[in-house]
Each structure stands twice: as structure tokens, then as C-alpha cells.
Structure 1
Amino acid sequence: MTEDVVKQLGYLTLGTRFKRIGERLQAQTQAVLEATGIDLPSSHFPLIGALDRLGPLSVGDLTQAVGVSQPGVTRMVGKLEALGLVRAQQPSEDLRVKTIALTPAGRRLVENAKNIAWPQVEAAVAHACKELSGPLLAQLEALENALEAAPLLSRVGSTAGERKRVRT
């Protein structure tokens, strides 16, 4: 087996390591979402979660709320709008600023996700992190190893036939 150079370089490649863990978590979260019947990229959930939690927001406020670039938020809003999950409104006081809000279908999706998929993802990530203790690099290695050994979907604790389906 080839040596994992990113792990071996320690703090020098910490950013790469965080990115790798993030990509793995996002891909595994996607598997859990799909297993619960949600066919929406996991990367879109922070945005709809922000709209659910904070109410209608401008693209600039969404950018700050989720920590994603303005072009990235604009692309996600476009995709969510095409799916009928959000709508853009222009308040009469400032025609330059659009406000993004969840549609009724978007609110139903969020409520279903909050009731089924999100608790499963949160519990599975917490389960993967439960052995973490000690120095940061050792914790990262333990988390990477845990996610490799047992993806989030296997940590959800239900079989394919027993998984609850979410309707949007």
C-alpha cells in the first residue's frame, strides 16, 4: 500500500487533510440523504438550513451565514429555485437586493430532513468522533480511520429495507 503522504506531513498539509475529511463527510452524508429518500446534494443543506433558521436572506447574508463564496451561493440558489425549493423576491425598498426564501416545498423538505435525515447524520458523525481525544493530528487520523472503516450510512443503524423514506 502506498504511504499516505498527507498524513505523514502533519501540520504542513493540515488544510488538505481538512478538505479530504470534509469531502468524505459530504459524500457519506449524501449516501445517508439518498437512503432516506432525499435527492438533493448535501452541499445545499447548509443554505436551506440557514433559510429555515434565519428566515429570508439576501445572497450576501446567505454567503456570510454559510461561509461559501457569493458565486457559489448564487449557483446553489439558482439550482434550488429551479427545483422549486426557494424563491427570490425583490423588496420594494431596494431593487438591487434580492431576498431568498424557502417555498412551501422547501419548508416541507427541511422539516422532513430535520425529522429523519439530519438526526441520523448528526448521530453517525458523533459516533465516528466518539473515540477522538488527544493531539489534533491523532484526532484527525482517528476520524479519517473511523470514516474509512465505517461510513456514515453504516452508522445510521438501520437496514436498507427498514430505512424511512422522506417525501419532498
Structure 2
Amino acid sequence: MQTYVFIPNHKFLPVLKETKEMVLFEPFLLVNPSTESDDFPANDEPYYTSLEMQLRHLIYKFQKGWIQSERQVILSSDECIASVHFTFNEKKEVIGINVFQRSSNVLNLDEDIQFFNYFIKKYCSLTTNLYVTVSQPHIFKGKTKKVSD
């Protein structure tokens, strides 16, 4: 019998397995998720600032012709947000952002989504599609957030 856990803003997530330290959930995909705010996240400012600059630079390199193929406009990382891939229209404007999160404490997921909504508002068209695949969603037992202020 499948077990589900209620996570605020994410409804019920199916439990994949449980350990002493955490509850792990089945992977899921979010399409154009929204957040209460589309401002720069206040939490983990150094990480999000670094991510913003790296993503900005990737778009710049493609638009200037330093990267020839939009298939190569991708950021790979060993962080929880493991890859970000941009898709473009014929005018080299961003029309889609594909995010792969290898791991996510779902109690912090709203900040990640808020960052991408902020990024879209600042650097892209408001019609840009956002797809977020969360491969190993989890929560830590006894903690409300992994990343705290």
C-alpha cells in the first residue's frame, strides 16, 4: 500500500522509502510552478547570486554567438540543482528553462522555484516556460528546513 505525506504547497507526495534521518519521495515534475513572491530569495543569498550570474553568462554567450547551438546552453553542477538548460526562439530569446534537481528538501523547494520565477521576470519573457524535475525529493526528520537563515 502506497504511503503519502502532505507537504505544504506540494499537496501529498508518495513516499518512496524512509530512513532514520529522512523521508524520501518519488520523483516529480513541476510545470510553470508559481510562488507567492518572484523576488530574489532572501535565503542562501550567496548560492542564488552565484547561480544567477552563471545563468546570465550562459545566455550572454549564446546571444553573442560564443555558443553556437542552443543544445549547449546548459549549466551542470554538483549542487542540488544539478542542471539548467535553456531553450530559445529564432530571435535567441529564452522560451524555456529546464531544471533538473538531483536532490531537494521539499521544505526548501519554494525558494528554488522563487529564484527561477525571479530570474524569468528579470531576464526572460513572462511567457517563458519553467519545467522543474525533482529526482530525489526528501525531508529531514526533526528539521523544518535544510538551509536556514
* TM-score (normalizing by structure 2): 0.26
Structure having the higher Rg: 1
What TM-score, normalized to structure 1?
0.24
Query: Which structure has greater helix proportion?
Result: 1
